[in-house]
Amino acid sequence: MDNTKGWFIAIGILVVFSLAALAVVWVVRDTITNTVAPVQNATGSIGTRVAEILNPTPTILPDPVTIVHSVRSLARLETIQYTVEKVITAETGQGTFSFLFGDRLIFVAHGYVIAGVDMDKLQPDDLEVRNSVLYVTLPEAEIFVATLDNEKSYVYDRETGVLTRGDVNLETNARKAAEQAIEESAMEDGILQLARQNAENYLSRLLRDLGYPEVIFTQATAVP
């Protein structure tokens, strides 16, 4: 009986020591984990930064000559349109006997002017890449169309002398003068400057989409 009791006491002591040992192991493992994890994270972060320095992300830029062909396919890049109205007075045979032989008309002209940049004039030498910056020398902006809208243009009034049937070319001459006046009006209003500005804005977005992070437009050097 005494032997049996002794065995139970011994087994109980062993169980208590085992539980205590397990508790110590768990505490030590948590301590090591909490201590090593920040070091591992810091080491991983440093390794990532070193890898980024040794293997930077490459910058890929397309060949400017290829871009010349792509941009030139735009041909005439129309970037602005003006709608203009002018009143033109045309007359002939005026003077002392105008009431006999004179001819006078008032022509109301409606027209439009289209301007832009002819990209077909762009040459390979007009594009240059320096330090990842694309420098572009655009052709000069120009007038593509300056014409009348015949559906809206009309003769407002015409007076002829009592002894004449009028000049058959007077209205034709008035229309030609109207087209020239419409173009001159658009030029005075700065249509070419706006056409170039719009072309630069459009091409800047296009060239950035093609892979150039920065685009600078330059003026062509005047030939002496």
Query: Are 51 and 127 in the same domain?
Result: no
Banded model confidence at residue 163, pLDDT cuts 50, 70, 90: confident
Contacts (Cβ under 8 Å, ≥6 apart) of 80: 114, 115, 116, 191, 194, 195, 198
pLDDT tens digits, 99-149: 677 889 999 999 999 999 998 888 888 888 888 889 999 999 999 999 999
Q: How confident is the model at residue 223 (pLDDT cuts 50, 70, 90)?
A: very low
**Pairwise pLDDT comparison (201 vs 25), residue with the higher score:** 201
At 222, phi and psi to the nearest 5? -70, 135
Q: Do residue 20 and residue 37 come from a single domain?
A: yes
Q: For residues 70 and 8, state if they share a domain.
A: no
The gap from C-alpha 213 to its chain's centroid, in whole angstroms, comes to 12
- Specify the higher pLDDT residue, 89 or 99: 89
**Total of domains in the chain:** 2
Range of the domain at 3: 1-57
> Tell me: the pLDDT tens digits for 41-79?
545 555 555 455 555 555 555 666 666 666 666 678 899
In a domain, residue 123? The reply is: yes
CA 49 – CA 156 distance, rounded (Å):
78
For residue 212 the two structure tokens come to: 């150039």
> Which tens digits make up the pLDDT trace of 148-158?
999 999 999 99
* Residue 145: how many other CB atoms lie within 10 Å: 14
**Residue 161, domain member (yes or no):** no
- Please give the structure tokens belonging to residue 22: 């397990």
**73 and 13 in one domain?**
no
